[in-house]
């Protein structure tokens, strides 16, 4: 860290694609692995080795802020910043579990967390003006996600988002959640990150609004506003499942499993929202379009495991609507499913 602080490589206009940058990323990677291995559930505030490293690193954090130029440099800076996000998240998570006896250190850690969250949400496509909180004068706007931010970066970043959400205050957790939802909505249908986002948001829903204890159950760290964000996202899942068809089976499976969980074990949606989901589910089977007649949905294109999951979702509805049940019957009459799916539908729907 002393070498990083003394170096001019992070000064304005000094960043170039050279071995020193590559070495810097490599060194931080080693430190990240060491501290993650030693303190996977949070670094205690008295771990002065990491605290000292972060104090020196924050001089230039986020590294290369606003840099545009050489692709190799942009990727290296992105990788470096994500590693620092995780180290800050580990410190913040540790502080939430231990008493911070130094007011100065507590103030420092709070500032580091705010800066990290602001940089993280910008990485996911949201720029924050002012303090990184939703409401109370904060202005958020959409920005372009770096063209060098790929799925492998997102795979590394998402666990850090989770750690930060568990260790920070509710409003900052809400902002991180909003950034993930924004990113997943912008992901192309065929993107592998679409499935990963869906699984992450499903995990958040399960830990926060499960009707019964689960192994992932966490303390309530989200606001009612965050619940509204997730409810709005969930309301769009039937449409997403319809759009996906057979383009991205992994995402289709993740979406159908999310809907099953929401219906079966959570308190996320009220009765009105659940009724809206039923209307969306009906389109997966068929819908009567004026002047066109019956238009069949993508249900017949799904593999058997997704077909079973969709039918389970219907069965978990408190009272399946007449429209939804009729849509299933018309779909099955025109496009008979495999015998195992037909028998399964008869069993769970009581036909």
Residue-level pLDDT at 16? 56
Region 133-154 average pLDDT: 68
Dist. CA 47–CA 54, nearest whole Å? 11
Backbone angles phi, psi at 110, to 5 degrees: -65, -45
Of 35-49, 254-268, 327-341, the one with minimum mean pLDDT is: 35-49
Of 114-123, 134-143, 169-178, 237-246, the one with minimum mean pLDDT is: 134-143
- Cβ of 277: how many Cβ atoms within 10 Å? 21
Residue-level pLDDT at 221? 65
Does pLDDT of 15 surpass 80?
no
Residue-level pLDDT at 4? 56
Provide the β-strand partners of residue 288. 294
Dist. CA 55–CA 105, nearest whole Å? 10
Dist. CA 252–CA 184, nearest whole Å? 14
Region 199-210 average pLDDT: 88
The answer to whether 42 and 90 are in contact (CB under 8 A) is yes
Percent of the chain with pLDDT over 90: 40
- Tell me what the pLDDT averaged over the chain comes to: 83
Does pLDDT of 18 surpass 70?
no
Residue 137 — pLDDT band, cuts 50, 70, 90?
Answer: very low
User: 170 or 319: whose pLDDT is higher?
Assistant: 170
Does pLDDT of 284 surpass 90?
yes
Residue 54 CB contacts under 8 Å (≥ 6 apart), including other chains: 84, 87, 88, 91, 112
CA separation, residue 226 to residues 42, 87, 271 (Å): 24, 25, 19
pLDDT tens-place string over residues 76-119? 888 889 999 999 988 888 877 777 777 888 888 889 999 999 99
The answer to whether 298 and 342 are in contact (CB under 8 A) is no
Q: What is the value of pTM for the model shown?
A: 0.85
Residue-level pLDDT at 77? 87
Alpha helices in the chain (DSSP H): 2-6, 19-38, 48-57, 71-95, 103-123, 151-167, 170-186, 192-209, 224-235, 237-244, 249-265, 271-285, 304-316, 322-334, 339-349
């Amino acid at each position: 860290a002393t070498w990083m602080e003394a170096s001019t490589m992070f000064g304005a206009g000094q960043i170039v694609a050279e071995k020193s940058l590559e070495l810097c990323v490599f060194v931080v990677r080693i430190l990240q692995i060491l501290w993650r291995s030693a303190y996977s559930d949070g670094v205690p505030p008295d771990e002065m080795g990491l605290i000292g490293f972060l104090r020196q690193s924050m001089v230039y954090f986020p590294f290369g802020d606003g840099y545009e130029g050489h692709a190799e440099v942009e990727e290296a800076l992105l990788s470096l910043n994500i590693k620092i996000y995780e180290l800050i998240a580990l410190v913040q998570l540790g502080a939430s579990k231990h008493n911070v006896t130094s007011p100065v250190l507590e103030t420092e850690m709070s500032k580091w967390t705010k800066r990290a969250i602001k940089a993280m949400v910008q990485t996911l496509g949201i720029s924050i003006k002012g303090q990184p909180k939703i409401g109370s004068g904060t202005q958020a706007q959409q920005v372009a996600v770096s063209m060098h931010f790929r799925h492998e970066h997102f795979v590394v970043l998402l666990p850090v988002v989770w750690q930060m959400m568990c260790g920070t205050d509710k409003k900052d957790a809400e902002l991180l959640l909003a950034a993930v939802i924004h990113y997943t909505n912008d992901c192309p249908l065929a993107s592998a990150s679409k499935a990963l986002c869906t699984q992450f948001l499903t995990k958040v829903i399960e830990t926060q609004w499960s009707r019964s204890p689960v192994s992932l159950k966490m303390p309530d760290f989200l606001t009612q506003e965050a619940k509204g964000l997730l409810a709005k996202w969930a309301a769009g899942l039937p449409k997403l499942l319809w759009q996906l068809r057979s383009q991205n089976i992994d995402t289709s499976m993740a979406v159908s499993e999310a809907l099953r969980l929401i219906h079966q074990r959570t308190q996320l949606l009220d009765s009105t929202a659940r009724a809206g989901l039923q209307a969306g589910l009906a389109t997966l089977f068929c819908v009567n379009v004026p002047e066109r007649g019956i238009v069949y949905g993508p249900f017949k294109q799904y593999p058997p495991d997704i077909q079973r999951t969709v039918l389970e979702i219907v069965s978990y509805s408190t009272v399946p609507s007449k429209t939804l049940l009729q849509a299933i019957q018309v779909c099955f009459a025109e496009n008979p499913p495999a015998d195992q799916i037909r028998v399964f539908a008869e069993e769970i729907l009581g036909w």
